[in-house]
């Protein structure tokens, strides 16, 4: 018996196993999308990310400056207590709460940092070094201190550095990093 002559139906789908290899990867038109839509999509995603980053950026919550620095050397200890007066203004529409202040002094000796002393210790420092009290503002900055919207606070913090009074007076720079709850820190100069 002779095999029947079967002609393929042109409307039937092609079997993937019988498509020539040259037809699959013949050119990039079969495997790569056009460049214009891809570049356009990348630009739109980049623009959307830039807008989101700009809207959600960290905004400063306070501004201010260090207004005065006075050092009192501790006898026979090669260290000093330093009264740092500063001004802080809340520039937001919500109250901010002071968490911590870290004062940093730089000079030929390098860099020294110290957290400010608790308000409960300051009367003892003032009793031992009356000149510190003379060079301090009446208001001390304290942890958990609330600063109302638009309010400007002038206050003093006391820190200790293992430096002589002369080293502190000859410093190259001093800055205070003021940390608030739920906000980024603010650096005062």
Confidence at residue 24, expressed as pLDDT on a 0 to 100 scale: 54
**Where does residue 129 rank: exposed (0-12), middle (13-18), buried (19+ CB within 10 A)?**
buried
Condensed to tens digits (0 to 9), the pLDDT of residues 70-128 reads 999 999 999 999 999 999 999 999 999 999 999 999 999 899 999 999 999 999 999 99
Condensed to tens digits (0 to 9), the pLDDT of residues 127-165 reads 999 999 999 999 999 999 999 999 999 999 999 999 999
Confidence at residue 80, expressed as pLDDT on a 0 to 100 scale: 96
Greater confidence, 55 or 10?
55
Q: In the sheet where 62-74 sits, what is the strand order?
A: 62-74, 79-90, 152-161
Greater confidence, 17 or 102?
102
Condensed to tens digits (0 to 9), the pLDDT of residues 51-81 reads 999 998 888 999 999 999 999 999 999 999 9
Is-contact 91 184, C-beta < 8 A? no
DSSP 153-165: EEEEEEEEESS-H
Is-contact 68 82, C-beta < 8 A? no
Confidence at residue 26, expressed as pLDDT on a 0 to 100 scale: 54
What is the rounded distance in angstroms from the CA atom of residue 135 to the CA atom of residue 138?
10
What is the rounded distance in angstroms from the CA atom of residue 167 to the CA atom of residue 178?
24
Of 177, 158, 146, nearest in space to 64 by CA: 177
């Amino acid at each position: 018996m002779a095999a029947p002559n079967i002609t393929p139906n042109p409307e039937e789908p092609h079997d993937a196993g019988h498509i020539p290899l040259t037809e699959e990867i013949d050119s990039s038109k079969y495997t790569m999308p056009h460049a214009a839509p891809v570049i356009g999509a990348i630009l739109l995603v980049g623009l959307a990310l830039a807008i989101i980053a700009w809207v959600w950026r960290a905004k400063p919550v306070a501004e201010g400056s260090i207004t005065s620095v006075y050092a009192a050397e501790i006898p026979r200890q090669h260290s000093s207590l330093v009264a740092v007066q500063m001004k802080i203004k809340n520039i937001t529409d919500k109250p901010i709460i002071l968490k911590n202040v870290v004062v940093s002094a730089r000079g030929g000796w390098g860099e020294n940092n110290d957290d400010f002393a608790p308000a409960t210790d300051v009367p003892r420092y003032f009793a031992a070094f009356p000149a510190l009290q003379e060079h301090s503002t009446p208001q001390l900055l304290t942890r958990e201190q609330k600063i109302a919207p638009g309010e400007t606070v002038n206050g003093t913090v006391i820190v200790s550095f293992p430096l002589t009074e002369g080293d502190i007076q000859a410093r190259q720079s001093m800055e205070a990093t003021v940390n608030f709850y739920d906000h980024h820190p603010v650096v005062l100069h």
